[in-house]
Structure 1
C-alpha cells in the first residue's frame, strides 16, 4: 500500500498488486475502498500491472471537507495516474465509479486504453434528483447493525452482497470498538457518501467511444426502489413518492439500456444470477469476460 498526492492536502490510498504489462486500475463503488477488489485484482497480474485506488473521504485516503463531486473525483484519478507515472491505463469501476470513469474518458480520453463497467451504468444523477425531494434520503449502501461483532458483520455483508467481502475491506471500511469489538460506524468522512450523491454529474455514456465492456446483473434502480418500497422500515414518504415515480424511472432506464446496446465499441454482458457486486457472485464469469476483453 502507498499514498499518492492528488491535490493540496489530499492523498489517495493506492494498492499495488504488481504484475507485468500495461496499467489496469480498479475503482470501487460508493462506500467501499480499493480493498474490495483484493480477491479480483490479482487475477490479472499475468498480463497487467494492477492497481486499486481508494477515493478521497474513505478508508486510508485523506478525508478533506470538500471535493466529492464527480469532476473532482475524476480529476483525482487522473492526478493519481500522474503521481504513479502512468500515462495510459485501463480502468475498471464498480457502481458509482462509473461516473468517475466516464468523466475521465470524456475529458482525458488520451489517458484511457479500455473501460470496464462493473454494474456501473445506472443513471445515478436521476436517482439523486429523486432523493432531493425527500426529507429522509436513503442511500443504496448496506449498513451493519450497531455493535454487531466483526464476524456478524462479515456474515451479514456476505448474505446481502452475495459473497465474502475481503478481510482488509472489512477492517479498513468499517470501525469496530477496540474494547467490545462491536461495529461502530463506517470508516469514512461523515457525509462523504451523501456529498458524492449530491455532487454526481449525469454520465454521458453515449459520448464514450470504446472499447468498453459492461458487465451487469440485470437489476437497476427500479428494482432497488421496488425492494425499498416493500420494506416496513422504509419511511412512508419514500414509499409514497417512489410508487408515483417508479413508472417514469422504468421508462427512462429502459430507454437508456436501449441506447447502450446500440453503442459502437461497447460490449454488454448480462451475468445470470448475479448481484450488484458481480465479481463476488460471479467471479469466474467476470474474470473470463475481462481477460478476453483486456487481451491485446
Structure 2
C-alpha cells in the first residue's frame, strides 16, 4: 500500500538528528526470489521473527524502495535517490514509474532546491534514479544546489566496466547529467572510513559493488548506520551468507555484511535498512551464531 501524502513521514530521533524515511514504492513479491535466490520460503519461514513486518507467512519477502533524509551539521542530506520517475528500465518493476516521491520529500521539509548533499551508497539503478528528472525532454539534476557524493572506487570501477545496454541507459539518464553539471564529488573512502562532516561518515562495505559504502550518523552519543545494499533484507541477519544475485564479489559482500553486523550487534546502534519494509529500523541482537533485528518503529 502506498503511504498517504497527508500522513506524517516516518522518522527516528538520533540525538539532535531526525532521520526521515522518504518512501518511493514497495517492490513486487517477485523481487525476493530474483534478488536473494537463496532466501527460499523454508529459510524465511524458519525465522518466525520476520513475520509480519518483513515477510508473509508463506515466506515471501517484503522489500521496499526508499531514501533517508536528515539535517546534520547544518547540511540537508539525502541518502540514495531510489528508482526515479519516467526512467526506461529493463526491470519491469522499475520501468516508467510515476510516484509522488518528490512530494513526499518536500513534505518532510526537503524540497529539491533545499538539499545540500546527496550521498550515493553505490551506482545501481534503484539508488540513483531521482538524481535527475526530465525537463523539456532532457534529464537535469533534481537537486541543483546539492553536491552529489559517491566513492572514487565506485565511479572508477564503472568507468572501466563493459556495460550492457540497460546499464548504459541508466548512466546516461541518472549519472552522467550530474557529472556534466559539475555536481558529482568523488571521495576516497579508506579502511577507517571518511568523515564528510561532524556526525556523518562513510564506511567501506565493498562486495555488492567495489566502492559500496554504508552511512554512519552520530549525535550526542547516539549512533545509526544506513545499510545501502550491504544488507538488502533482515533475513540476511539470520543468514549472512545469503547474497544478492547482482553482487559483483559475493565473497567480499558476505565479509562486509558480517563485519557490519558484528560492529552493531548488541549495542544501541540503530540499523536503517535501505530496502527494509516498515518498520525499516531496528537494533541488531545476537541469536545463536547469527543475528536478528529487534524493530524500532518510526515516530
Higher helix share: 1
Higher strand share: 2
Bigger relative contact order (CA 8 A; separation at least 6): 1
